[in-house]
Structure 1
Amino acid sequence: MTGTCPHCATATVSIRTAMPWCPDCEWNLDGYDPGRQAPEFGWGRVDRRTHRIAARLNRRQYAVLVDRPLESTGPGTAGAVTAVVSLLLTVGVLALAGLGCWLLFAYPFPNVAVLLGVALIALAVVLRPRFGRLDAELEVLDRSQAPELHALVAQVAAAIGAPVPQVVGVDGSFNAYSTAVGLRRRRVLCLGLPLWGALDGAQRVALIGHELAHFVNGDVRRLLVTQPALTMLGDAADLLRPSPARRADGLLEMVGEAVGRAMSWVLSRLLFGVHLLLVWTALRDSQRAEYLADELAARAAGTDGVRDLLDVLLSGDAVDRVVRQASRAGEGPAAWRSGVALARTAAAARMPLVRQLSVRDEASLFAAHPPAGLRHRMLTARTPQEPTVTLDGRRMERLDVELTRHFDRTARTVVWSG
């Protein structure tokens, strides 16, 4: 306790060196804390202002959604805008390529138009839409290598009404993700083994359920028609960013280089600004999709399972320490889970404050997820759901056994990376 709230006279609180706030009316919880939050633009006033805007938008979105049924209606206005911009950008790149091809053959060879045509074609190739590819760190597991895991993924997919991913794999990160790659949008599920091994049965079901829900919750980041808008302008801005200055041989060359660098910088910043605006628009819609993904995950894991998963993610540093210490002792995922359970029990009294603090710490115009504290509140405010997919001790053991080799390698990596 650090003082008294000026609004409701409740004693204020603070954890993790954070600015104090009121635990009852949440006074000062939306304030910008420069000691804890990394700058996004590098200007103090701008960062402070954008943080307050993000916090206000988070609150507003939560208030709009909390009393409504969370159901997938496809991409909203943000998705439609992103798709239209993607179409226009794709047409523009095709036009560049077409003009370049025309210039190659429009005039007799040799001609300066040929050089311009080659340049336009090269520019179109550089700016072409990217649809993603499998991460090099992802270790793909086919059904013969991990039959129990594949069966669990299929069971959870059926419980929430999502398609089964074509690719299931693992890596060594404290994370999990789902995505779609390639022009055919192959569905990919990746489970980071340090996180996966530290979760109990309900949390594992919740993790899979949340990630698979992204295939049906209208998340604009995973749609084929929105990819150009989310990548092309950023690539163009990088392409036009001025290269390091070199020594000029004369005044005329120095002036010409300075003018060219200035024009490149202005154009690059303009393109990057539009890119940020599009990304920000898409991410606001993605945050809505995250709430829906939690709701769908609760159909499989139950509301308590999803809330427990959020608490584990909020305790990421503690979980990482548990996994690292157990790995140094030569212990596997069973010991990881025991250690995490003990750590969560010890931290149970302060978890409400940790959830509240996430509302401040995770506020950003460029955050793909709403603050974990608001996601936890959303689940608490809705009708509780009972689990439809459960993992008993024997099934958990089978899941761990078939990934033994991968867990052992991950444990060695975790130890050496520490």
Structure 2
Amino acid sequence: MSGGYSKKLALRLDARQFTAYEGTPPTRPEWTAARVALVGLSAALVVLVAGLAALGGWLVLRGFPSFSILGGVPLLLVASALRPRLGRAGDAWHLLGRDEAPTLFALLDRISAASGAPMPDRVVLDARFNASAGTHGLLRRRTLTIGLQLFGVLTPQQRVAVLGHEFGHFVNGDPARGLLTAPALVTPLIVADLVRPSEAHVSGGPLSRLVELAMRPFQLLLERLFLLIGAGVQAVAARDRQRAEYCADALAVRLAGTSALVAFMADAASADKLAAVIAATERGTQANPETARRNHPGAARWKEAADAWRATSDADEALEKSITEEASLWQDHPPSGLRARIARSWPYTDPSVVLSQADSAKIEAELHRFYTRAGRDIAWSAA
């Protein structure tokens, strides 16, 4: 599919989805044909993998030891490689405890109570200009990740909007985050990785080298085929993931108010530029060893630099440009401009959870040492 055609198709699909939710905030993503197809494909893949494992086990155990083990072991290895993934928590930049940030956790408690969403099992900090929510493991433990670059430059109500949006993913039934659809999304990419030609040359004589060269074109063809299948499945899932984002935005509006979400979308549309402003500011801070080590200003200078940049930029223009620039068949978030526009189309909402300037300042104090650490990471990665 050519880039121009895929962009036009993405714009049409974005517009259609916008029309479906314009004026009426959604609650939960509905079951769609795409979601049914993903669940059906996942079920078929799970049955196939279970069948491979059962056949492999039978061949290994039949008349053990026997030559049938030569067929059973490869089948077991393939079944193991294709087994359903439950997700992993991964390494945390910093796993935040309630005792380290009581005011922040009190805010999370308020958002949980107001939204009806469960509290996350883990609150993780990192140095990115982002925030995310996810589930992992057999028990589906919930993780909320707060990017300090982003959090540090937001107003108090924008912070409520971001956190409320992420809590929305714990209750909105996002189909692409569930166990029922994960196999369809990840299996084609796993197979592509399995058939990819090795970068290292096969050790051995000329015959081994000849076999490697002869197999390489077929491996490359299979790799491209499964990557294409994976991209197609991701494109199918992207529409449902975008529906889930609109549902999370609706909850954010209910909690933080319309104005806060719209203002945050303006920042999201200019995320790369704001991150560059923060990086430039932090490089200046790190250039003074005394300030960097003993008197780091935390996020205060980031906020000043971000506010100065916002004062000279056109937020509405950035939002409009994002409608085209962020459109993609594989993008799991609707364009920021459409998210702001659709929030404005819903009935204007005042916040139900208000974060005062005083409490926001307490949160800043609680996170100060983490901002200091993040500043070093930002300066080093931008160097």
Work out whether 1:352 is the aligned partner of 2:316.
yes
Match of 1:338 in 2: 304
1:137 Cα shift? Answer: 3.9
Work out whether 1:374 is the aligned partner of 2:371.
no
1:416 Cα shift? Answer: 2.5
Select 1:282's aligned residue among 216, 225, 237. 237
Describe the shift of the 1:303–1:408 C-alpha distance in structure 2 as closer, same or farther (beyond 3 A).
same
Select 2:102's aligned residue among 122, 132, 147. 147
1:331 Cα shift? Answer: 2.4
Deviations 1:207-240 (CA, angstroms, capped at 9, x unpaired)? 1011111112221121122111111121011101
User: Which residues in structure 2 correspond to 1:100-179 (within 5 Å)?
Assistant: 100-111=56-67, 113-179=68-134
Select 2:261's aligned residue among 306, 315, 332. 306
1:409 Cα shift? Answer: 0.5
Match of 1:33 in 2: none
Work out whether 1:58 is the aligned partner of 2:14.
yes
Tell me the amino acid that sits aligned with residue 130 of structure 1: R
Describe the shift of the 1:416–1:266 C-alpha distance in structure 2 as closer, same or farther (beyond 3 A).
closer
Describe the shift of the 1:390–1:107 C-alpha distance in structure 2 as closer, same or farther (beyond 3 A).
same
Deviations 1:40-64 (CA, angstroms, capped at 9, x unpaired)? xxxxx71121111111111121122
Alignment partners' CA distance in 2, 1:401 and 1:75: 44
TM-score under structure 2 length normalisation: 0.90
> Which structure ranks higher in relative contact order (CA pairs < 8 Å, sequence separation ≥ 6)?
2
SS at match of 1:224: coil
Flag the structure with higher helix content.
2
Work out whether 1:206 is the aligned partner of 2:161.
yes
8 Å CA contact 1:197, 1:336 repeated in 2: yes
Gaps of 5+ in 1: 1-44
8 Å CA contact 2:86, 2:138 repeated in 1: yes
SS at match of 2:2: helix
Work out whether 1:271 is the aligned partner of 2:235.
no
Select 1:97's aligned residue among 46, 53, 56. 53
8 Å CA contact 1:200, 1:337 repeated in 2: no
Tell me the amino acid that sits aligned with residue 360 of structure 2: M
1:175 Cα shift? Answer: 0.9
SS at match of 1:283: helix
Alignment partners' CA distance in 1, 2:275 and 2:92: 20
Deviations 1:131-174 (CA, angstroms, capped at 9, x unpaired)? 21123243211212222111111211222222211111101111
SS at match of 1:368: coil
Alignment partners' CA distance in 2, 1:343 and 1:417: 21
| Worse-superposed segment, 124-133 or 75-84 | 75-84
Deviations 1:222-264 (CA, angstroms, capped at 9, x unpaired)? 112211111112101110123359599668973x545533433
SS at match of 1:404: helix
SS at match of 1:170: strand
* Percent pairwise identity: 36
User: Which residues in structure 2 correspond to 1:399-414 (within 5 Å)?
Assistant: 399-414=363-378
Alignment partners' CA distance in 1, 2:147 and 2:25: 31
1:275 Cα shift? Answer: 1.9
Deviations 1:278-335 (CA, angstroms, capped at 9, x unpaired)? 2111111111111111111011110000011111122223422442344333422233
Work out whether 1:197 is the aligned partner of 2:152.
yes
Work out whether 1:390 is the aligned partner of 2:354.
yes
Deviations 1:173-210 (CA, angstroms, capped at 9, x unpaired)? 11111000112111110001111111110110001011
Describe the shift of the 1:321–1:251 C-alpha distance in structure 2 as closer, same or farther (beyond 3 A).
closer
8 Å CA contact 2:23, 2:342 repeated in 1: no
Alignment partners' CA distance in 2, 1:321 and 1:259: 47
8 Å CA contact 2:298, 2:369 repeated in 1: no
SS at match of 2:380: helix
8 Å CA contact 1:185, 1:224 repeated in 2: no
| Worse-superposed segment, 99-108 or 63-72 | 63-72
8 Å CA contact 2:34, 2:237 repeated in 1: yes
Alignment partners' CA distance in 2, 1:138 and 1:229: 30
Taking only aligned residues, the RMSD between alpha carbons, in angstroms, comes to: 2.2
SS at match of 1:140: strand
SS at match of 1:402: helix
Alignment partners' CA distance in 1, 2:130 and 2:278: 13
SS at match of 2:145: strand
8 Å CA contact 1:236, 1:271 repeated in 2: yes
TM-score under structure 1 length normalisation: 0.83
SS at match of 1:162: coil
Gaps of 5+ in 2: 286-295
Alignment partners' CA distance in 1, 2:98 and 2:318: 39
8 Å CA contact 1:183, 1:224 repeated in 2: no
Describe the shift of the 1:285–1:337 C-alpha distance in structure 2 as closer, same or farther (beyond 3 A).
same
